[in-house]
Structures are given as C-alpha cells and as structure tokens.
Structure 1
C-alpha cells in the first residue's frame, strides 16, 4: 500500500490532441447534448471534463515501480492509458457502457491499489460502480455553472457534487445530476404508457428515459391546451395564390419618429437588413415603398427575383448607415443613434410588420405584411409580465434600457407575453395531473416534495414540472423581441435571443409561432429537452447546492476538486440569467421556494469583475481576486491529499488575441493559486476550435482555457534564490518537455503546456528570492520559464547532425527561398561542414550561384533512412511530411519511415516542433500548420510502426517507396 501521494496521469502526460479534437467536434453536437437542456454561458466541453477527471484519479504508471519496473514498461502503460482516454472522449462514447465501464475500471484499479486492494472484475459493471461509490473520493465543483464537471463525474461512476451562487445554474445542475438518479429506471406514469404496459407491453428504458417520456407526454398536452386557449392569436397566413398556411414567424421592424420636419412626424423603420432569403435563384427581400394611403406614408412589400451585387449589398444594409445610425425612408435624412436613444427613452419605439414567413411544402413562403395580421398581433392583452428591472448599465445588456426597455417584460411583444405566461401557468396544471397519474402508477405517496428530498409521487410531479419549466425557458430564448431572422441559404430560420453571450439590441426582429412545425415551436422545445434528459447518465448519487464559493463551507469533504471558475469580467452571468430567472420564478417558486425566494439572481457576491458594481475597474478586479483567493484557500483545505486539484482558467477573447501567456490576468490568477498554498504540477491547454484555425498573426494561438493541475504545497517548503530556481528549471524541464511531446501535445500547445512543469518547480519552494531578497512574482517566473524553454530548444538543435543544423539556420532566415551561394558558405563554415556535403546530403540544392533548401515537392520518391548512406534529421522530417500528405502515400508510408529512423525518430520529432516555432514567429501560417499536423500525428505513426516492422522488411520498404 502506497504511503506517499502518487503521481496521477494528469501530472505527467495526457493525449491532449485527442481531447481537443473531441472538444472542438462537440460544438457541432446538438440533439441530446446536455447543453441543450438549458442555455448556460461558457460551458466547458464534456470531453475535456471527462478526460481531466479520469486523469486526476488514475495513477501514472511511474507511481508503481514494482508493477512497471522499467522506463519501457512505464511508457507502454502510459500509452495504453492514453488509448483509454482517446476512446473515452468522443461524443459517441458518452453513453457507450462498454467504453465507460473500461474507464471506470481504470479509476477503480488506481483507488484499489492505493488502498492495498484489488479492483472488481473488469466485466462486472455493477460491482465497479458500487466500488467507486464506496471507495472513490467524491468530486466537487464549487463553480458548477452549467453542470458539465459534476455530470461527467457522475458518468464516470463517481459521487458528483457541485455548488453555485446563481439559482439558475443550481437548477440546471440539479436537473442534470441530482434529479435523474432519483427516478432512474422508472417507467413513465402517463396514461398512454400505462395503457400500453397494461396490454402486455414491457418498459425497456433505462436511466431517465421514463422521466423524459413523461416530459414529452405532458409537454404535448400543454401545447394542445395552449393552442385551445390562445390559438386565435396565431392566425394562418394568406398566400399569394389565396391559399392558407401556418405561420413560422412574423418579421417586425422597430420604428422611430423621423427627425426631419419634412416627414411631418411620421414613424419610419429602423432595419438592419431587408434580405429575407439569400438562397441563389430564390433571393427574397423586403422593399420599403412610398405609399400615401399607408400609415406614415410608406409600406413594406416582399419581392423575389434576381439581384445585382450592388442591390443586394444595399438591401443587406437595411436603413442602417454603419455606426452612424439610420436613414429616413421618406426623406433620406440621417437618424443618429443618439436621437434614436433619446426618442426610445422619451417616447418609445414603435413596431411595423415587415413580412410573414409561412410553411411551404419544401421551402419557406414569404408574404407581404397585412393589416389583419398586424391587427391580431396588437390585440394580445397580457395579464402578466416580468416587471423586474434589466440591470448592468454599462454592459451589453444595457442596450435594452438605452432603447426604452427598462423592464424584462419590455423585451417581449404583447403576444409573446401572453403565450409565455399561458405556458408558464400550465406548468402548475400539468404538475397536478402528473401527481394524480404518478399515484395511479403506484409511486409511493410520502408527501415529501422534490426540494425536501422526496422520491415519491409528489417529488416525481415536481421533477416533471421542473423540466417543463426548462421547456418554457427554451421558448423564452426563442420568443423575445431580441430574436432575429437568419436569411442565410442553409438556415432561413429564427435566431435565438442569445445568439451571443450578451443581450444585443435588434432592430428588425422575428416573432416565432409556438404552434408551427418549424424553428422555435413549443413541441420542438419539448423534444430537445426530453432528448437531452434521456441521455444523462443517472448512474450515481449527486447533489448541487446553492452556495457562495468564496465562503464555501463544502457540505461534503474531503473532496476531489475539479472546477471551472468564472474569469474576471468575461460574462455577467447574474445579469444575463435574470432573463430566464424571472420566468422560472413564475413557474417554479412553489416547487423550489429556496432557489426562487429573491426577485432576481444575487449579484453583489458574484465573482465577476464588473466595474459598475464595484466602483471602477481596479476595485472590481480587486474584488474578484480577493474572492477567488478565498475560494482557492477553501478548496485547498477541503481537498483530498492523494490527488491533484484541477482548476480551469478561461482566457478572455481579447486577452488570448493580444496579451498571450504573459497577460496580467493570467499572471494574477496564477499568483492567487500560489498565494492560496497550492503548487502547480501541470498546465494543459484545452481548446474548442480546430487546430487549423488556431494560427494567426505569426503567433501561437491560445486555448480557450488552461487546466491548472495543483497540489497542496508541502509544509516546510524551502526558500530558493533566483539562481537556484533557474538551475532547477534547466535540470528538470528537459525530461518534462520530452514527456509532453511523447503524449502527443502539438507544437501549437507547447508554450502553454511547458508552463506546468516550470511552475511546478517555482511553486515547490515557499518562495524564490530575487537578488534584493524580495519575493519573485509569478510574472517574472513565467518569463524565466519561457527563457529556459528557449535555451533547451536551442541546445536540442545543437544535437542534430551538421546538415540539419545548417538547414535549420537557413530556414530560420530564408525559409525555402533561394539566396546567393555565399550565404550558404557562411553558414557551412560556421557549422564546420563542407559545402559539397550539404549538396550531396539531399538537403540543399546547387542553383549555379544560388542555393536553397530542396522543396518538399522536389524530394525524391523512394527515399528511406535505410537506403541513404548519410541520412539527416532534416530529411526524416521533410520526407515524412511528403509521404503523409501524398495521394499514394498516407499514414502507413509515413509510419514505415518512422520505423526505419531508429534513434533518429525522437530527433525528427523534436525538429518538427522547432520548425513550427520558427514558422509561427515568422508568420508563415501554412508552413506552421504542416509541422503542427506532423507532430500531432506522430504518436499514431509511432504506434503503427511496429505493425509495419512486423510485416517484414519487404513490406516496410514497399510502404516507404512513395
């Protein structure tokens, strides 16, 4: 039994490229993804959360020298664990019990070995889950937000806990993690399902699928009941041929009184685009026409046909004039934004119907606005609307109060308010029906509500009602006057309110119909909610609490900390979530009284640096860092001793683009981690964009977040001088960098990944003293770490063969361009290598008075390290790229070359990283991508190499002839 903390996989190496690829792909997953249950901002990808948790709990094989006694055995086991993660992270694995059980067993094995026990059998999934529930540490995320981390902990069979200050986030977490296990495996209670089972049908669902079926059933009932009550407010459209069709959306333009006296006080439209469809051959737009018989002297008319580019550009601009404001359609007079704001606050903006979008057999049908359609819309008389004020006078959300919409109800048309209120009121009626049906289905009537911890009929009715309220919030997101119409050819659909992570003012907006069969309709929202619910794991216990992280008492301890805290002023969660909170409160205050006891979400203690709330930018940042420091100290105290903490640091967009890894925010956050008594063991950049989008402006692009791997700093840590710190960096970082490369971390992520082992050295000491005996700040340590990394890379380059060193120096100056031969002679003399040797090597070409590197496309086919009398590392890299990208080559041919390189393979891999760094520094994005792709592919090529060798020398030689 181990008596000292064992190194975990995340502290040594993880298959970062596979994790990032799965995280990027996850953005395109829609149906069934937990994020579709309810909108939350800046969620971490499930793939990343799942992989990080696995690697936090699984031992690195170096921790068990008796079981893995040689470096080769350690590396082989490490690669095997990487393959487990590679299988685990794709979206398709999220409900694959075979893959999940394999991952759970690996966690159980590490837990068991640490306790001096043996894990359950690999094949016994139930026993593995029971063992993890009893013996593995509980996972806790004190900033659980959208619930990704607790959800993935639960998926891995662990006890999952989380907390958040925001009630909306808490209820999202409960809906994902806490509620489903209470009713896992139960069949639906609705009468249709009960009748089917009475006829001999057998319920075959698992997890929360029964609960999801009831959400579908009672959601459909709500839709039909709402249609009976308010369907008259949603009339069909009259088509040009006189037929009738269901309306998908009504497109409206806001209007303002013209400032031009010649317009005689007419209200004129404020339109950002007149285009309705940009599909080739079917372009459709709205044309504003002067018409003395129409209100205010103008009207809209829908037109279809061909457009010149100039006309299409004009129509795409609507009446906007860029940042200056708008143009009056009657007189051409300018309408500045300041004028619009003053009118909006003083007199209010008007609305005019632009067009009606109807359902066609195979496409949208666009109809001109009619007075009857407008009259019906204006007849809506809402009995209720959220009166709470929109907050944040200096944030994106301020665009609503600035334009005459100070209350949340002002963000909705009267008809939208009627519809949303009707659906909200129906939640209570649906709950009563579910309660009666649950009793009839035999659920116990213990009288305990869901909020009280019950799991009988009353709690079940509360659960269904909670998910139905989530359906309404999806409808709220798609049913405000902030929604717009997407005219792009592939869409032609309603955009939701939060197309961005802010509430942005829209001038022409789309009002969808909840009773259509197209985007934004109520049944679609029911289906999306039920589909997401049906796929949550529901396999282990979990709970989400409403707690202030900075003051967190951690109701469960000791705990494994894995958390994604907010970052400075990136997103005003509380201000934005009020948009949903006011509707949830209307539907659910009786079911979740503690969560909805306030009129709006709590804001004073929210850990976001909002200057308007704290008296200025510096005061806001001080508040954030103070609160974050308190939270980090609380986490350190509550964390288990034998596993690291994982803290996600989310880069702001502007910070990532401009300041890079030396940004003040990044250094301040690391300083807070250090000051909280934590030592860093790793920094893994997690991205949600594909690698080919990550290079620009000649610099390494930053990940969307970096996972900080931390340990509690040991008591009695020593003090070091600056010189001692630098010596330790030079001594320890080479091996750490080699391990990171072997893990498959691509060059684009190296700069951030090497911070981990460097900061591991820095934070091992109680403090590092500068020459004047002052404590070295983190920002200085980061600079030294990067400097030492550069030195290590340069020293590595010196180990290459002489022609490769010359080629590297030439590439750093000229790339693949030819230059006078004298330039090459100078470099050759500096490296003490004859010019003839460089030309004979196949690396350089003699161009009669000029010289240059041989371009990849001119490299000879059939080259192999085994048939070259003096193979160079440069040739190994360039030929591997050549065959990897060749139409008749590919991975097998490249793997054959790697197999034949022998000891040169690691040097070739290191050269690819060095070439990437040079290419990015020079701004050669395309060339940098080539080396990044090779480095990322290298682990797979190395894995394939033994197979190529096993097929014999003839097969290997044939594979390398490309």
Structure 2
C-alpha cells in the first residue's frame, strides 16, 4: 500500500473551492437550530446566541482538507459520505429515529416476500384477509385492520436495506432527512463504518487508510501540512468552531477578547468534551454544590412553609404611588399566573391602607382568564379602578421623564448606590411579592411533583424580611470577597437600559435579596468544590435564570431566562426561581458528550489581531451583528472578575470594550483588516481561511473585499447557507443566511488592472463558474434525481467569482488596493468596487434564465419582472424559504418585494398569485404596476372575470405604446405563466391570451 508522503497535497486545491453540498448543509444546519436545547453546546448557556451550527463547521473543515481530483462528481460523493448525507447513512439515521413504520414501507415498496421481514396481526380465519400471503405489494393504504411489525429475528442489515429502498422513493433531501436523526445524534462508529472502504479507495494513491474521521483528518493534515492540521478561531464566541474542529480530529486553537466567550469555549472543550471519568468528577462536584446550597437554604428556612411545602418560584411585581389618588398600585401588564391551571391574581382595594391586596384564584373560567389579561399597566399607562371610576396616568409622568440639556432623556428615578440592593419605601417604584408557586411536601422528590399557587401570607413576608436582613448585614463583606458583584454598570447602548428604567447603577442591582443570597452560595461552594472551573460555568448559567429580568411565562409556569434575547430589559413583573428549582435544572440536560481528552486544544483571551499560528482559520466575525456581547456579558464578568478559578485566572476579566471589533464604518474596516492581516501572516502559504458572515447587500461585499485586500487575501469560493429560522423575536419572519467565504493568500507580485479591463474578466469568471456548476447539476440530477446547487448557490458563486478576480489585484486604476481599502468612505459614495460587485450580480442573474423563458426575453426584463418570474419558476420546485426571495430581491434591485408577496412566513413564503393582486398593487406608482407585466396581470384578471379576450388585447394596445415591439415578449411570458402558474384557471386564460396574441395580424395588414 502507498505510504503517506508529508506535503504530497501541499499545493492541491481544496474541494470546497469547487463543490460544496450547500443545500443539504443548509437543511441540516436549520434542523440543528430547531433542536433548541437539544443542541450539543446550548446546555452550557444559551445566553450566547451566535454559535454557528456544528454541522456547518464540520463541512467547512472537511471541505478545506479534502483535495480536488479529476472526478468532481466522485469528490462530491465522498464529501457527502463523510457528512452522512448518503442513502445508507440516512437509513441508519432513520432507523434510530424510528419514524418509518413497516406499513409505510409496505405501501411504497414492491416486496418479493414481505413475510421474511414483517409479521402481522391477522388470524387464519379472518374473513377480511382470506389470503394474507396473496396480498399485493405495495400495499393499499386502505388495508384497514392490517398491522405490520418487524419480525423479531430480522437482521439489522435487512432492515436497513428496506429503509434505504423506502427513502429512495422520496424526492428531495429535506423530506428524507426529516425522517432521520441528525448525524451527531447517532453512534459515530456505526453510522460511518460502511464509508471507509470507498473513502480509502478514492484516495488510495495518496496512501490514505482511515477508519474514522479523526484518522482521516490527521492523514490529510500530514499530506497537506506535514502534521495534524491546526484550526483556529480568533472570534471563538460560544465555541462551536473550535469544538467541532477538535471533535473531528484537528488541533484546535480558540481565542477571544471576551472572557465569557473563552469560558463557554473552555466549557465546550472540557465539559462537553470530557472523558467518562472526568464527567464523573464533574457530577460529584455538582452534587457537592447542590447539597451544600440546599443544606444552607434549608437551615435558614426561607423556602419552606410551616407545613413543609417547598417554594418553586416567587412572583414579584412593581408597585407605585398614583400621583392622582395617593394609592399604592401594584403594577402588572397581566394578572394571569397560569394559563394551564387557570390561575389568576386578583387585586382588591383596601380603603384603610390606600393599597390593594392581591388574592390568588385557582380553577378560573376562560372568561375570568380573559379578564385577567388586562392588568394595571397598559400601553404605557397605569390604569386601575376605584369605586367604579377608572384612573389613567402615563408612566412617563410618574417617572418624571424629560429631556436634559444635551437632548438625552432623564427621569426622577433615584440612582442606586453600591450599598443598595432593594427599593426604598420612598422610591417611585418598589418590589412586591404577590404569589408563590409551591411544591407539595409529599412529592418534592418525585419525578412529577404536585405544585400549586398561593397568595402571599404574613409568614411568607417574614421570610422575605429575613432574607433582606441577611443580605443587608453581609453585602459589603460578600462584595469584598468577590462572591457578589461590586462592579458599576458602564454606560452603553444596551447597558443604559437598567439605569434609565430602574435607576440601577451596579450589576448586583439586577438581583433581589433572595437571588443575591442563592447566587452567593452557589459561587462560594463552586469555588470550594473539586472542579471550580466547571462549576463556575454552571454558576454563570444559573445567573442567567436568577435575576430580576426573568419574565414570568404563564404558559410554562416558570420564569424565562434573562438572555432569551440579547438585551437587558427589566420587567414590571418577574419570576424568581427558588434554589430548589434552580439547582434541579442546572445540569446539561441531554448533552451529547465527545471524549476530547486525547485532542490538543487551547483557549486564550487575546485580540484577533494577535493570533496563534494555525493552518486553517475559521472565523465568524462580529460584522453586521447587532448583539453587543462586549456590553451584555459584563453581567457575568461582574460575578467572576475578582477571584476566577484556574485556568480562568489567566484571562483578563474585563469586556475590553475599547478593543472590541464592532459596529461598521471606517474604524471597523481598519480593525478587521488588521485582524485578518495578522491571521494571514500566521498561516502557511498553503493555509486557508473561512470567513462566515451574514449576507446583507452589495455594500457588505464591498467592505469585505476591502478588508481582504488589505489583509493580502484572495477569495477562492463562496457558498450560501441558511442557518437560522424565524422566531417571535424576529419581526416579519425570515430565514437568516450565512455566507461562507473561502480565502487563500494572494499570490506575491504586482497585478494591476483598470475598471475597463476588470469588468470583462469578472463577467468571464462568473460565466465560467456558473456554467461549471450547472453542468455538474445536470450530471448529478440525471443520476440522483435532485440537483447539487440551487439558485442561491449559483447566485453566491457569481459573487465569489467577482471577488476571486478582484482580490487577485494589487492595484486598481493605479491605486494600491490596501490604501484604497482603508480609505475613509463618504456617505453615499459608490466606488469602483461597488460597481464591479453589482456587475457581477447582474452577470450571474443574467445566466439564471428560468426554465421556459428564452434568453432574449430574460435579457429584456426589468428587476421586478425578473424577480416575479424567477420566483414563480422556483416555486414549482417546492422551494418556500423566505431567504430565497430576499436574496433575489436584493440581486435584482427590487425596492419593495413584499408588494408582490402573498406570504412572508419564513418557511412558507410565496408570491401573490395572479388573481390575488389588487388594483392598489398594480398602479403606475408601484414597481410591478409600472411595467408591462403589471398590465399583463390586469389583462389576465379581466379574463378570469370573463371579459372578452379582444377587449383585453385592445386595452393592452392602449396602455402599452410599444405594444407591437414587445408582443413577442408578452407571448413568451404568457407561455411561461401557462406552464408555471399554480392555479389551473390562470393557466387556462394565459393560454387563451397567448393564442390570441400569436394570431394577431400586424397593424396595417
């Protein structure tokens, strides 16, 4: 067998430069995202939202190391085998998922002898099935009463064979994958055992002989770099890139300026990546902290009532004094406590005290729940009723909101100081405990404990006062010991919010007395445990769920965590978990451990412009990212900065805001250029970089070109991955895409060019790239039934081709590209780069002619016309992802694509059907209404309303001065609509109108 020769693949182009299964990676990435807490790393702390999907990282690492051969189709097959995208891997993933039942298979597959595989429930004398052995396969789905089961003695290989046949009957990768577990959820040795003979045969000439990803990665690294490959991420964030790189066999280097990011990355590598023995040690340390905290709280008797019931959650609201009546009013947008259990709070006036008592009512009717949804705070007003009269006061008046001399908003809220931990009775706002969620004493240790809500009693208030007294007597000492924060809240876009809305000026102000006591105990015993670093990661996770910004969730009967979004928003009413509730859920849930004990990795805090040398840099920089981690992570830094455990004590426990790469504009470009220039210098000549960023518009691409120019990098590939799905927090519903840019060092030497010379080169490269990909599409589609690349992939390839050409130059129009890249921009400036990138987009789009239209017609269409017809064509393939519409709207320069959209749902997007357009949509002032396509839609609508065809044609002649010149275009588009429109009635009238236009005589004849 051929032996591995170090550096044999030193100059070989990487596979990801030519092909990448972007559609399949996109779907698996979204599937991973939808797993929510089932994702591998989120158990460490879901407060870091920017983690890239692990499946995407795996694909990038493999694509960067696998070489191109002279058989691109086979290369792609190898890539998909290594990603578990092939049919046999899908069958294994489906077997574990167990969604495909024997009857499903029997209804799809023509089985020669089904009873070799299945057993049934039919008795010999059952009249419904006189001849069970004579049943025709595939089965009729209406075979009611017939139940099939797998035979107990069926072998696994036979099961997998039938599952593979079944999946082969399903069109489209997405539909198949929905029936399967994600690759990382399946035992890796078993999942991939069938692929290694094929892999080794394909790379036999290089001496590859692997039986795992780790072995293959090491061998490819030796062939390319002379050693196991080193993968680095200088913006490590939540740690997904270094974790996945280490998991598949690379040496991983993680660095970040932010110590909280480093802590999470350390947790990913050392906790999720722990060996079985180490995990036992972590569990023992966790048990120690749990017992110690529980003993302390139990001894204090601050979570138990007189009957022995244990508090699960405490519900608080703000209270204020009405300036109009002088009454103390409890504040809450809603008084619903539990929708599922029908529990509400009811406010009852007490004339003697000029305040409201709050009762807790259970087993309420739907009408009572509905009434309770309207609380005492509505639309910025304090609203309540006394003696039949409604009082309504603006909250801004109660707070004393006003503008200061500098134009900034001020108010009359008292600014808290370092010794404060609760509101004073003279404050505008005050905290009030109004309900407690209890666990029945007899079911506390049960897996399904019985819980109930009760109003607050005098005994409960006494326990609250006891906690206040403990904190009052010890706060200064705890702060000195570093067990409770004494750090001020530094002003910022996100950190201004607690000060502006509550008067809080120190980080410990975000915690009430009970929360401070619990968090202090957790931190204290975490530091004294046998695994203080691991316990500190857990303690940070607890803090996210243990503060006054935890919204009470009426559907789940528990408080939400602070960082369910990326803000620091205090709520008017909030929930506080007891120590019992917090510590019962502070583990990692269903964490999917991977033993990385034999893998080399390191985590350091440092700027991106001071990287550790590596062969491959994979980064997800903070570009176009509204999440201000340099501000919001100070919430955690405040807790751990004084006495962090080893190895965290080696890091700088400060957010270092001034050094963070953030925002946009000239300073951002300069900082990014310095960072990527440093990475370029710290990688070998055959090294690679992958930059992931959110695709916005051509301006983003222009900025990135400038950064890469200045860094001495050349783009060699680009792929579009749909990585995020919409949530309630994302207005309008959309799928957020990530662009994967692959880069190498720019070849040495001078390469000068001018705009006139660049444009033809860009167009030629775009044409070559897209035609190559479309050719591979045709080949694979003929064999596998589905294309490799979709329109978004081809569109991104157009951008990549432009970037590849542009970033190969050292001078443009006589100007050094580095100087050009870092030159300050003026607002509204359109540079030569902007023009060329837009030209590349147009060149790419001009090649993507929808099936059924002639190239001549396509070239004559405007942006909105191209958009509508292109998306009509895409919809025939079943594509319904909103990001497709967004990307093509940008590419075709459509100003308001929403005007022609029937649905903007993230995964159910669609155009307006022709009958759905209103007259308001088709006015001359609208993009589509001002085109001949708009008039054609009106004509089709008239025909649908049974207008005379000749009258419609006469109207088109009157409305379109160039009617005779564009008649051929109208006919071509009508033929297209006749074949593509989803509704039969529209297809029919398009056929009628097209036939009439074909049969027209030229004017004057």
TM bucket, shorter chain: 0.5 to 0.7
Q: Distance in 2 between matches of 1:408 and 1:300?
A: 30
Q: How far, CA to CA, are the matches of 2:735 and 2:709 in structure 1? A: 22
Q: Compute the displacement of 1:522 (Å).
A: 0.8
Kindly state the Cα deviation for residue 592 of structure 1 after the two structures are TM-superposed: 3.3
CA distance in 2, matches of 1:259, 1:83: 71
Task: Return closer, same or farther for 1:175/1:106 CA change in 2, 3 Å cut-off.
Answer: farther
1:830 to 946, 962, 968: 968
What displacement does 1:250 show? 0.6
Secondary structure of the residue that 2:587 maps to in structure 1? Answer: helix
Q: Secondary structure at the match of 2:83?
A: helix
Q: 1:168 matched to which residue of 2?
A: 260
* 1:468-507 matched pairs, under 5 angstroms: 468-488=535-555, 491-507=556-572
Q: For the residues of structure 1 that align with 2:798 and 2:856, how far apart are their CA atoms?
A: 26
Higher mean displacement: 823-832 or 162-171: 823-832
Contact residue 328 and residue 335 of structure 1 kept, 8 A: no
* Corresponding residue number in structure 2 for 1:379: 466
Counterpart pick for 1:754 among 791, 795, 798 = 798
Cα distance in 2, alignment partners of residues 800 and 232 from structure 1: 81
* 1:570-616 per-position Cα deviation (integer Å, ceiling 9, x unaligned): 222122112112223356346533325x5x4322211123xxxxxxx
Secondary structure of 2:586's aligned partner: helix
Contact 2:239-2:265 at 8 Å conserved across structures: yes
- Partner of 1:680 in structure 2? 715
- Structure 2: where are the runs of 5+ without partners? 1-6, 90-176, 402-410, 416-425, 441-447, 479-483, 778-786, 821-830, 862-867, 874-932, 944-948, 957-962, 994-1005
Q: 1:563 is matched with which residue?
A: 619
1:50 aligns with 2:58: yes
Q: State the shift of 1:259 in Å.
A: 2.2
Q: Show CA shifts across 1:520-579 (max 9, x none).
A: x21320354xx54834644421111111113x1x3334x211111112562221221121
Counterpart residue number, 1:542: 601
> 1:498-538 CA deviation, whole Å, 9 max, x = no partner?
1111211211010101214xxxx21320354xx54834644
Aligned to 1:157: 249
Matched, 1:119 2:208: yes
The corresponding residue for 2:836 is 781
SS of equivalent residue, structure 1 residue 344: coil
Counterpart Cα distance in 2 of 1:21 and 1:846: 31
Match of 1:229 among 272, 296, 312: 296
Distance 1:745-1:370 versus aligned 2 partners, 3 A rule: farther
1:390–1:406 CA contact under 8 A, matched in 2: yes
| Contact 1:177–1:538 (CA under 8 A) maintained in structure 2 | no
| 1:104 to partner: Cα distance | 11
1:152 offset after TM fit, Å? 1.0
Name the CA distance, whole Å, in 2 between partners of 1:101 and 1:343.
Answer: 65
TM-score between the two structures when normalised by the length of structure 1 = 0.68
Contact in 1 for aligned 2:241/2:618 (Cα 8 Å):
yes
- Give the Å deviation of 1:150: 0.8
Distance 2:245 2:78 in 1: 22
2:135 aligned residue: none
Distance in 2 between residues matched to 1:693 and 1:838, nearest whole Å: 37
Instruction: Return the alpha-carbon distance in structure 2 between the equivalents of residues 125 and 849 of structure 1.
Output: 55
Measured against aligned partners, the alpha-carbon deviations of 1:296-355 in whole angstroms (never above 9, x if no partner) come to: 52111222455667x756643522232x34336667241423633734325543111121
C-alpha displacement of 1:117: 4.3
User: Structure 2 vs 1, CA of residues 320 and 539 (structure 1 numbering), >3 Å: closer, same or farther?
Assistant: farther
Q: Is the 8 A contact 2:495 2:632 kept in 1?
A: no
Are the equivalent residues in 1 in contact too, given 2:494–2:632 (CA < 8 A)?
no
CA contact (8 A) 2:245 2:251 kept: yes
**Contact 1:100–1:156 (8 Å) recurs in 2:** no
1:37 aligns with 2:129: no
The match for 1:144 among 213, 236, 247 is: 236
Q: Return the alpha-carbon distance in structure 1 between the equivalents of residues 286 and 750 of structure 2.
A: 60
Q: Which moved more, 1:282-291 or 1:404-413?
A: 282-291
Q: Which runs of 5+ in 1 are unaligned?
A: 62-67, 182-206, 432-463, 610-619, 652-659, 856-962
1:777 Cα offset (Å): 3.7
Q: How does 1:284-363 map to 2 (within 5 A)?
A: 284-292=343-351, 296-305=354-363, 315-322=372-379, 324-327=380-383, 332-337=391-396, 339-340=398-399, 342-345=411-414, 348=427, 349-359=429-439
2:697 — aligned with what?
A: 661
Counterpart residue number, 2:633: 577
Q: Distance in 1 between matches of 2:24 and 2:59?
A: 10
Aligned to 2:989: 851
Residue 713 in structure 1 maps to residue 746 in structure 2: yes
**Structure 1 residues 780-789 or 93-102, which shifts more?**
93-102
Alpha-carbon spacing, 1:232–1:59, altered in 2? closer, same or farther (3 Å): same
CA–CA separation in structure 2 for the residues paired with 1:58 and 1:371: 70
Match for residue 524 of structure 1 among 585, 592, 597: 585
Give how far 1:230 is off.
2.0
Partner secondary structure for residue 437 of structure 2: strand
Report the Cα offset of residue 30 of structure 1.
1.7
Give the Cα separation in 2 of the matches to 1:351 and 1:579: 21
Q: Greater helix percent: which structure?
A: 1
* Partners of 1:289 and 1:298 within 8 A in 2: yes
| 1:915-935 Cα shifts (integer Å, max 9, x gaps) | xxxxxxxxxxxxxxxxxxxxx
Contact 1:722 1:769 in 2 (8 A): yes
Shift in CA distance, 99/29, structure 1 to aligned 2, threshold 3 Å:
farther
The CA RMSD measured in Å over matched residues stands at 4.6
The 1:501/1:233 distance shift into structure 2, 3 A limit, reads farther
Deviations 1:394-429, CA, capped at 9 Å, x for gaps:
325533454121111111111111111112111233
Contact 2:15 2:75 in 1 (8 A): no
* Alpha-carbon distance between aligned partners in 1 of 2:984 and 2:242, rounded to the nearest angstrom: 62
* 2:313 aligned with 1:249: yes
**Quick one: structure 1 residues 841 and 153, their matched pair in 2 at CA, closer, same or farther if it must change by over 3 Å?**
closer
Q: Distance in 1 between matches of 2:511 and 2:729?
A: 39
The Cα shift of 1:748 comes to: 4.9
The aligned counterpart of 1:641 is 685
Cα distance in 2 between the residues matched to 1:388 and 1:832: 69
Tell me, in whole angstroms, the C-alpha distance in 1 between the residues paired with 2:10 and 2:299: 72
Name the SS for the 2:844 alignment partner.
helix
CA contact (8 A) 2:637 2:655 kept: yes
Q: How does 1:40-119 map to 2 (within 5 A)?
A: 40-61=48-69, 68=70, 73-87=71-85, 91-93=182-184, 96-98=187-189, 117-119=206-208
Closer, same or farther in 2 for the Cα pair 1:739/1:303, shift >3 Å? Answer: farther
* Whole-Å separation in 2 of the counterparts to 1:345 and 1:83: 63
Task: Indicate how the Cα distance of structure 1 residues 780 and 140 shifts in structure 2: closer, same or farther if over 3 A, else same.
Answer: same
